[in-house]
Structure 1
Amino acid sequence: MIGFYLHSSGEVLGVIQIMSVHFDYFIPDWRTYMETIGYNVLVLVREGKVKYEINGDEVVAERGDVLFIPKSTRRSGANYMDSPHQKHTILFKLDTGLSTGIPFLDQGRFIKLKIANFQYASHRCERLYEEMRGGKSFRSFICLGIMQELIGLLAREMEKPELAPMKQKYAQIVRTYLLEHYREPIEIEQLARLIHRSPNYTTALFKEVYSHSPIRYMHQLRVMEACNLLLNSDMTVTNIAQYLGYYDTSYFFRIFKKHSGMSPTEFIIQGDQSQLFP
């Protein structure tokens, strides 16, 4: 268990103790039985769907959804429609005698929302999972810093005004196209045609919903795929660059370093994808 103090203007606000961090990877017949939990739970769903019963209400969470399940909740969970899912789960306790300044923590209320910067949050959860399992120096400081960041990101998301359903629909159309075609040459004009809007409107809309421009999101997807290929294939850096649509290898190096903080060569030597996107 790892604990730390949250500070604001030098004032001690509260203490969080990380109990455990889990990564559920498509577990058949996954379930957790009904109980009143004595800790808080933060869940980020990466793939598929998961079903919870929260104080008598059914909640279904899918890719991109974040759940905060507070202490003393009566909760059970299972695969949705018997289909396995992939998710990160963080169990932690909070000193209830002190205020954190984070409304959903202090009020102890259940929340469910779709986080805008899903890929970044996923990588932070991966890093936390790896650090909790390892024994590297300064592990506790790193884990606690990541946990604080995740809570802060969630609190910030909750402050945003609710987006109009049509905006969400348009942004999702563009995002789905990018997920399916990120290796291909993509121009903002062709994305704009998907939703019959101007290029400037399309860029601003996507950034409002997902916190990045469509083109930056495309590069992130490419870099994530490059990392997988660098670690899990025999392809050369040049071949990977061309496979992902970068026909100038030096440009691929610049993009990779911009989004990962290191060169492809440095990444291969390090060999740890959890260190990406700090």
Structure 2
Amino acid sequence: MLHMETVRQDTGVQWFEEYEEGAPWYLLILVTYGKCLYWVHQEKLMLEKGDLLLIPSGVPFYGKSIPTVMHEKYVAAFRDETSSPALPLLSAQDFCKWKTGKYELLLQRFRMMHEEWNEQLPYREAMCQSLALEILTHWNRELDEGKPTSVKERHIELMKAYIQNHYREKVTKEDLANAIGKSPNYAASLFSGVTGQTIGGYVHALRVKTAVYLLTHSRRTVADISDYLGYCDPSYFHRIFKRETGKLPAAYIKERELPVQ
């Protein structure tokens, strides 16, 4: 079982962290913006958006911001209290750095973990343990499968670009197949295999991300936002939103940034 120590979000240009004899816990890191540096076992690592880093307990390291370069990242610290780790990642004695193809999925899990921890929600440790284990499991599967070929990566980028331009509409596997010149089943299988999400799940996540922005930065009503994002039934929008964020839309309206009168 994983025992969570803390979940935090680092933001800025003045971050510094050092453990000369190694931290007494694992550090699980996802960079979400900009770049930062780590030295692990005196090896220099440049981390940028989409990079994962796992530093086992007892491994000496230090990290810092790059001067004048803004960066953001999530950091989860945990102990593995099992005598026989369930994942190869947790059995390794050295660090692991990886550019994930499941960035959107893992970012959502890190956000939920950070929110659970910092808002001190009931049973937060159990929820954060399960989220951290899910992140590590997806990562280990990527390691087992290896990096997709450059052709597959290009196809994924084309499909993501199509969804970005049409996410307010119904997006089907036939649409993505046309975008890459392949069969619908191939497109759907490739997309879910690399991103860890179904086409529908990816579309919902993108819609909810837009909804969060509109709820906090506009005066639109929930019903208006639901209709704008392609949900004809507001109650269905509420269910999807709660599933993706753990909150109802009204919770974000309370945080709405109103213009100064």
TM-score, scaled to structure 2: 0.78
1:76 aligns with 2:76: no
Given the alignment, which residue of 236, 239, 251 partners 1:257? 239
> Which residue pairs with 2:256 in the alignment?
none
CA-CA distance at 1:23 after TM superposition: 0.6
Counterpart Cα distance in 1 of 2:244 and 2:64: 39
Tell me how far apart the structure 1 counterparts of residues 171 and 243 of structure 2 sit (CA, whole Å): 24
Does the residue aligned with 1:43 lie in a helix, a strand or coil?
strand
Q: Alpha-carbon deviation of 1:142? A: 2.8
The equivalent residue for 2:249 is 268
Give the SS at the match of 1:48. strand
Gaps of 5+ in 2: 254-261
The alpha carbon displacement at 1:58 in A equals: 2.3
Q: 2:137 aligns with which of 152, 167, 173?
A: 152
2:126 to 141, 155, 159: 141
Residue of 44, 49, 57 corresponding to 2:30: 44
Q: Per the alignment, in what secondary structure is the counterpart of residue 108 of structure 1?
A: coil
Where 2:122 maps in the other structure, the secondary structure is: coil
1:75 deviation in Å?
1.9
Distance in 2 separating the partners of 1:146 and 1:216? 17
Q: Give the conservation status (yes or no) of the 8 Å contact 1:18–1:92.
A: yes
Hey, what's the Cα distance between the residues in 2 that align with 1:211 and 1:253? 26
Shift of 1:177: 4.2
What is the root-mean-square deviation of aligned Cα atoms in Å?
Answer: 3.3
The equivalent residue for 1:3 is none
Q: How far is 1:209 from its partner?
A: 0.8
Q: Counterparts of 1:225 and 1:155 in 2: how far apart (Å)? A: 30
Which structure 2 residues correspond to residues 174-213 of structure 1 after superposition, within 5 A?
174-179=159-164, 182-183=167-168, 188=173, 191-213=176-198
Identity %: 26
User: TM-score of the superposition, structure 1-length normalised?
Assistant: 0.74
By how many angstroms is 1:210 displaced? 0.8
Q: 1:74-127 CA deviation, whole Å, 9 max, x = no partner?
A: 32223357421221101223348x222322212222112233443332232222
Q: How many aligned positions are there?
A: 252
Paired residue for 1:18? 4
Deviation at 1:219?
Answer: 2.6
* Structure 1 unaligned blocks of 5 or more: 1-5, 7-15, 273-278
Q: Within 2, Cα distance between the matches of 1:202 and 1:80?
A: 39
Contact 1:41 1:89 in 2 (8 A): yes
Letter in 1 for 2:249: I
Closer, same or farther: CA 259–155 of 1 in aligned 2, 3 Å: farther
Q: Which amino acid aligns with 1:261?
A: R
Pairing 1:227-246 to 2, within 5 Å after superposition: 227-244=212-229, 246=230
Equivalent position amino acid for 2:199 in 1: P
* Structure 2 counterpart SS, 1:32: strand
Secondary structure of 2:85's counterpart equals: coil
Determine if contact 1:223/1:256 at 8 Å carries over to the other structure. Answer: no
